[in-house]
Copies of this chain bind each other. A is one copy, B any other.
């Protein structure tokens, strides 16, 4: 019997991506779609590419009968998300795609997001949703916090290297090239086609991007000591994809071996042959991660390049993967579509 799914915040890009994925997921069906600001509208008017699906019209959160729902995805902006989730039934399974339950420490949350958490008591309950590293906890969880898309990319690259002890923990640089859908359906001048196409720039330079909170929490816990990385995102004239170029100190072959070892049995994470490099072209629209390792001409240094689709594996695909675990469905169900190329 298919699981009944509600999506709260269905009018944003991650909401639309959830619907795209569930459209061909044999174990899930969409029972309710909420978007308070667009309640009453049809999904066909908000996202015409979904018009063939016969979806329920958008409603407000209050209008959903959660007794009929097996799992809710919450795809709201951060801060709003915590306020909504706080008031949902305490027995409802929830995958939150916002930033609100990623950080376990209320002080860290406030430091990076600038406001006191409205549901601090739930921060401890939430399981960090990086599937490949929290599989058991996620399967048992009621509330799972989807990771940041950049945070996911960086962790797929670095976690096995910390675990294997093959890199210098004080010399980690993550230079990321991020497609624009990561900014959501926001009306800002720099996201206009006229101002973004054909050019690119760094932003949040110098260690100010909020996903650093996740890196700090996860890498430090894993290493058993403080780990602080450098991370610079760049806005790309492209709609989907994150490419992370990591500059590391360590032996490239050992780094490659550690990654191969860590991901040997993972269905979605592909470690390329040594010396090959991935492209965001080759993972677009899919749940796959491609990782490539190369040694630098300077001995003892390596470059690891990783690519994933920020909306899919970096957000909604990860959320489905987690929901599969929480609902007792096969982890890869509905997620094996090949990338769209060209």
A142 within 8 A of B: no
A285 within 8 A of B: yes
Contacts of A212 in B (CB 8 A): 297
Across the interface, A208 reaches (CB within 8 A) one of B189, B288, B297, namely B297
When the two chains form their complex, are residues A49 and B280 in contact, meaning their CB atoms are under 8 A apart? no
Name the residue in A197, A241, A243, A311 with the highest tally of chain B Cβ atoms < 10 Å from its Cβ. A197
When the two chains form their complex, are residues A197 and B239 in contact, meaning their CB atoms are under 8 A apart? yes
When the two chains form their complex, are residues B340 and A340 in contact, meaning their CB atoms are under 8 A apart? yes
- A 181-219 binary contact with B (CB < 8 Å = 1; else 0): 100010111011111111111110111100010000000
Given contact pairs A208-B297, A285-B285, A338-B24, A243 touches B202 in the complex (Cβ within 8 A): yes
Stretch of A156-164, A172-180, A322-330 on the interface side: A172-180
Across the interface, A193 reaches (CB within 8 A) one of B13, B192, B284, B341, namely B192
A27 within 8 A of B: no
Contacts of A239 in B (CB 8 A): 193-194, 197-198, 342
When the two chains form their complex, are residues A191 and B193 in contact, meaning their CB atoms are under 8 A apart? yes
A90 within 8 A of B: no
A245 within 8 A of B: yes
A220 within 8 A of B: no
Given contact pairs A188-B187, A208-B297, A285-B285, A338 touches B198 in the complex (Cβ within 8 A): no
Chain A residues near B (Cβ < 8 Å): 13, 16, 19-20, 23-24, 47-53, 173, 175, 177, 180-181, 185, 187-189, 191-203, 205-208, 212, 228, 230, 232, 234, 236-241, 243, 245, 247, 270, 275, 277-286, 288, 290, 292, 294-298, 301, 303, 305, 307, 311, 336-342
The 4 A-B pairs at the shortest CB distance, nearest first, are namely A207-B297, A199-B281, A201-B279, A194-B342
Further pairs besides A198-B241, A337-B337: 18, Cβ < 8 Å: A20-B340, A24-B24, A24-B338, A50-B339, A51-B270, A51-B290, A175-B247, A177-B200, A185-B195, A193-B237, A198-B281, A199-B281, A200-B281, A202-B245, A212-B297, A230-B247, A234-B245, A236-B236
30 contacts across the A-B interface (CB closer than 8 A): A13-B194, A20-B340, A23-B337, A23-B338, A24-B336, A48-B279, A49-B281, A49-B283, A49-B340, A51-B290, A52-B288, A175-B245, A180-B193, A185-B192, A197-B198, A198-B239, A198-B240, A199-B280, A199-B282, A201-B280, A202-B277, A203-B277, A205-B294, A206-B295, A208-B297, A212-B297, A230-B303, A311-B342, A337-B337, A340-B340
